[in-house]
Amino acid sequence: MEGIPLEWRRRCMSYAVDARGARDLDDADVLRIVDVSFEAWLALDCGPGPRFEVRRESRRARCDRAQYVQDGGNVNVIAFVADWTERDHDPQAYALTTVWHHTRTGEIYDVDMEINEERGRYGVCPAPAGCTDGTIDLQNVITHEVGHFFGLAHSADRNAAMYGYSEPGEVDKRVLRGDDVEGFCAIYPSGALPEACDPTPRGGLDLDCTDASPSGCGCRAAGHGTWRLSGSVGLIALAAVIVRRRPRVRC
């Protein structure tokens, strides 16, 4: 299946972690894991020219849901979600990343990452063995989701970090493989990014969720049918949809 390619057309962005933190890990571990997961992608070298700069906001967000406000401030948020089932998300998914984008051009406007705390216990597993007690390695999950942050879909390569299936305790997706690098550099080849650098989100930085209904354009980049222990696996197309003024939409 094919869809409109999604891409950032700016080279500097920021993200914030929701202040409520994680149930199973302390804040220091969560922030370190998120930073390291981004660094794995930011270290990729696609040739001469400007490269991405992504920073973590020093202040924490107060927002635990996916939202893009077309006529107001925004934040690329990472949040741990305790009411996953109530949100009608796939109960077997480890995480869901929402990529808000222009439906005709594919330009990414905002990305929000939800981590499913109903799925199990998250932790830091030893490499390369991983965990055997059912613990889910958070870095394994976040590194995969950061690939969606940059607009990548799932890979058919079982060795890739962007392969859409993972066993609990696996740590293999911490490391980017050839197919991941090829996909990233196909979206952002040498010289594709502008020199200008401004990490301010569209509409300005707003670390709090607004009470108003979100508006804009977007698509679920991961979740339903992905990161499952059972069921079908494979490539998931990022189909463009118009998101009207309503609190939740799925592709």
Q: Tell me what pLDDT residue 246 has.
A: 25
All domains of the chain, ordered by start, with CATH?
12-243 (3.40.390.10)
DSSP lists the bridge partners of residue 137 as 123
Q: Tell me what pLDDT residue 243 has.
A: 29
| pLDDT of 129 over the 80 cut | yes
Confidence of residue 181 (pLDDT cuts 50, 70, 90): very high
What's the per-residue H, E or C state across 37-59? HHHHHHCCCCCCCCCCEEEECCC
| pLDDT of 239 over the 70 cut | no
| pLDDT of 148 over the 50 cut | yes
Range in 118-122, 224-228, 247-251 the model is least confident about: 247-251
| pLDDT of 238 over the 60 cut | no
Q: Tell me what pLDDT residue 210 has.
A: 73
Which tens digits make up the pLDDT trace of 13-55?
Answer: 999 999 999 999 999 999 999 999 999 999 999 999 999 999 9
Q: Tell me what pLDDT residue 226 has.
A: 35
State pTM to two decimals.
Answer: 0.86
Which tens digits make up the pLDDT trace of 184-222?
Answer: 999 999 999 999 999 999 999 999 987 654 444 444 433
Q: Quick one: what percent of the chain has pLDDT higher than 70?
A: 82
DSSP-derived pairing of the beta strands 12-17 and 241-243: unpaired
